Structure 1
Amino acid sequence: MNETTSSKPMYEKIFDEVKQLIVNKSYGQGERVPSEKELAETYNVSRITSKKALEMLAAEHLIVRKPGRGSFVADPAVDYIDSVMSPETTSDGTVFNSFNHEEKTIGLIITDFGNSYGTGLIYGMEQASRDNDCFLVLRRTFGVPENEEQSIQKLLSLGVDGLIVFPAQGEFFNAEILKLVIGRFPLVLVDRHLKGVAAASIGTDNIQAALKGTEYLFDLGHTHISFLSPPPADTTALEERVEGFIQAHAERGIAVDKGLWVSDLTSTLPNSFNDENIEHDISRLVSHLQENPAITALFAVEYNIALLARTAVERLGLRIPEDISIICFDSPPTPLGSGYAFTHLRQNEEEMGRLAVENVLRIMNGQTVSNKIMLEAKLISGESTGPAKPSNSN
């Protein structure tokens, strides 16, 4: 094997070798060629890689892929016309069309969604999928890595053409994602990127967003700010928000006092949202505020933590924002007459969702997309922030 050949991706190597066998008539018209599983075992690669090689052969009209039966050497005069005109149905009722693949199917794997964050993301993806004549199939993982792994495997087995993944929080990214990247499967990550993984990602410019929110508090006279977060878990979004918070202090020449921070709140983490954990976190915040009376503002990295903070402040008989201001990332729309809204940094969810769908479609079509897209968050002034009390700000 020469150097040029050896440097090719494995799926191209498999494609070239099977194509040569077809051209040389080693596989005759109508004859079955090795399956994804057989090719994966022969070449010691993942099924994602072998699947891509077979898809390339089908795209060149060299084979016809018949779900549930296998892949067969095409008869150009018959199989191509049939495959364009007639979809095939597998035993579980899933409809495929070997060559007429204009209607793509995209799998969406997301931790969860709610009125504070996630619904707008899905709305943007759903609208973009309609605009681009493709289908969106959603699976929730609730932030559990094992669920994420199973969801990826399930959607791949169903034959999705591409994946959008909102990665689960955790110290290590899922090995299934790495397999997708190595196999060059069309993949876009949303909300966060994964260190050391060359996958396209779309998210918020969290550094600038946290910097903007912190500067807003500084402008109101707050210099003793408590940063509230879950435990560090090597999650890029959280790390970037911490970085933005620290950067804002550096730019204003204000010392960062990590003794004012609370970074061990767990009740908002996956599988931890229960009354006992919620009460534990609220009590933790009550004690922290009692021990640090100089605090005049709280910066919560997410909306649910802001709710914990508000409860803790109210239990102490303090007023928001007269005594303590609260700012957070994301906040649900406030219905008319409900009377309360947090000052928050609103992420551009719909645009993030739209770009995720459009970029995964571009990758399917062999186009190059930006490896990392970061969108600006907008500061929305609400009822939870006000000027710092002079007596508490020094």
Structure 2
Amino acid sequence: MAGIRREGRPAVIGDVARLAGVSPQTVSRVLNERPNVREKTRKRVLEAIRQLDYRPNLMARGLVRQQAHTIGVISFDSVLFGPASTLLGIGRAARAAGYGVTIATPESFDRGSIVDAMADLASHTVAGVITVFPSQVAATSALLSLPAGLPAVAVEAAPDDSVPTVRIDQVEGVRMAVEHLLRLGHPTVWHISGPRERMDAQARIEAWRATLEQAGHSAPQVVPGDWSAESGYQAGLELAERQGVTAVFAANDHMALGLLRAFHERGIRVPEDVSVVGFDDIPEAGYLIPPLTTVRPDHEEVGRRSVEMLLRLIDGRDGEAVPCVVPTLVRRASTAPAQR
């Protein structure tokens, strides 16, 4: 059974499904003694359960989901400020509604890890699930792994419009940042991006470029980052060698922090020589040198709205369109008029 179950943890539905060569939904149907499973398939699943010593909990034995008072959440990168703040908002809103929260975190973004985590989450007594993924592929893998009929809401990414989705208005947030710098007289704005495979990072790139073009300014080459302060520092060293850089928009505050360090080491003054804007408004942003101008997206509000939407679905009400959460621009000392 090498590769079927990782050592050190009990078997989950995903392990049973792989050993039996079926989907997690089929395993769930067998566990709940539903009739629409071929006898040959049912025997394979039961044999896999026996081999793996899988112990289904009360949900798998037929507990009615509407009686559950726990919300399941699957998330990745939960140490980053945005996802962590969203989880905080989910937890607070769930508690206020009388629900507990169970969180599953896949080991990586690959489909197998996501399916494993989702199957484990679905095997618990959860009334519904919220996915917190900025990757379209990851969110799709997670949502398609859910048992049929389990209510679900997505944060940022979903496979299609059939799943209610709560999002930050990335376009509006970036527009605020770029237009602020252009109004200060900067000829253009350079951009340090997040990872290209991330939907939020890609949305910020596209909004940055579109805002510059609509204002009649050319867009420089994107400087890639990975959300970390280290990548912002390396981007800062690269930008310090370029001529004509007077304004930089970093896709998150941690990269802006690294950028400030690199500029300081190269003798570039902020904001006298270069203005800098970040995104997220991390708690430390106001205490950097200089205090950082940044876009503040309300991640906790995203979490609250996702719980509100999920509870509607759990109660059997139709999901309503959820407006994007609009960020605000927090002006601090890291931006100033361009030097003539």
Query: In which range does the TM-score fall when normalised by the shorter chain?
Result: 0.7 to 0.9
Q: Shift of the alpha carbon at 1:251?
A: 2.8
Please report how far the alpha carbon of residue 354 of structure 1 lies from its aligned counterpart in structure 2 after TM superposition: 0.9
User: Does structure 2 retain, via aligned residues, the 8 Å contact 1:148–1:168?
Assistant: no
Determine if contact 2:195/2:227 at 8 Å carries over to the other structure: no
The answer to whether 1:355 aligns with 2:320 is no
* Alignment of structure 1 residues 369-388 onto 2, 5 Å: 369-371=319-321, 373-388=323-338
2:69·2:99 contact (CA, 8 Å) conserved in 1?
Answer: yes
Deviations 1:64-119, CA, capped at 9 Å, x for gaps: xx938945xxxxxxxxxxxxxxxxxxxxxxxxx64871x52101122234584344
TM-superposed CA distance for 1:247, in Å, is 2.5
Match of 2:240 in 1: 289
Higher Cα Rg: structure 1 or 2?
1
Match 1:298 to one of 219, 236, 248: 248
State the TM-score, normalized to the length of structure 2: 0.75
1:331 aligns with 2:281: yes
Is the 2:170–2:200 contact (alpha carbons within 8 Å) kept by the matching residues of 1? yes
Q: Which residue of 227, 243, 266 corresponds with 2:191?
A: 227
8 Å CA contact 1:112, 1:141 repeated in 2: no
Aligned to 1:213: 177
Determine if contact 2:246/2:275 at 8 Å carries over to the other structure.
yes
1:322-363 CA-partner distances (Å, limit 9, x unpaired): 111111111222499776532111111221111111111111
Answer yes or no: is the 8 Å Cα contact 1:224–1:294 preserved in 2: no
Q: Matched residues in 2 for 1:244 and 1:321: separation?
A: 23
Residue 50 of structure 1 is matched in structure 2 by: none
RMSD over aligned Cα atoms:
3.3
Pairing partner for 2:144 from 158, 169, 178: 178
State, as a whole percentage, how many aligned pairs show the same letter: 21
Q: Which amino acid aligns with 1:36?
A: N
1:112 match: secondary structure: coil
| Secondary structure class of the residue paired with 1:185 | coil
State the one-letter code of the partner of 2:151: P
Question: Distance between the aligned counterparts of 2:286 and 2:239, measured in 1?
Answer: 34
Q: Contact between 1:148 and 1:174, CA under 8 Å: does it hold in 2?
A: no
1:36 to 32, 37, 46: 32
CA, structure 1 residues 283+193, in 2 after alignment: closer, same or farther (shift >3 Å)? closer
Q: Distance between the aligned counterparts of 1:344 and 1:104, measured in 2?
A: 38
Q: CA deviation at 1:129?
A: 1.1
Question: What does 1:250-265 align with in structure 2 at a 5 Å threshold?
Answer: 250-257=213-220, 259=221, 261-263=222-224, 265=225
Report the CA distance between 1:204 and its aligned residue: 0.7
Letter in 1 for 2:172: Q
SS in 2 for 1:108: strand
The equivalent residue for 2:294 is 344
SS at match of 1:382: coil
Question: Shift of residue 383 of structure 1?
Answer: 2.3
Describe how 1:82-231 pairs up with structure 2 within 5 A. Answer: 98=64, 101=67, 104-114=69-79, 116-141=81-106, 144-145=109-110, 146-167=112-133, 169=135, 173-180=139-146, 183-190=148-155, 192-196=156-160, 198-231=162-195
Letter in 2 for 1:311: R
Q: Which structure 2 segments of 5+ residues have no match?
A: 1-28, 42-56
1:238 corresponds in structure 2 to 201
1:365 is matched by which residue type in structure 2?
A: D
Whether the 8 Å CA contact 1:298–1:324 is kept in 2: the answer is yes
SS at match of 1:299: strand
Q: Distance in 2 between matches of 1:294 and 1:339?
A: 23
Give the whole-Å Cα distance in 1 for the aligned partners of 2:60 and 2:199: 43
The residue type equivalent to 2:133 in the other structure is P
1:251/1:387 CA distance change after superposition, 3 Å: same
The question of 1:367 aligning with 2:317 is answered: yes
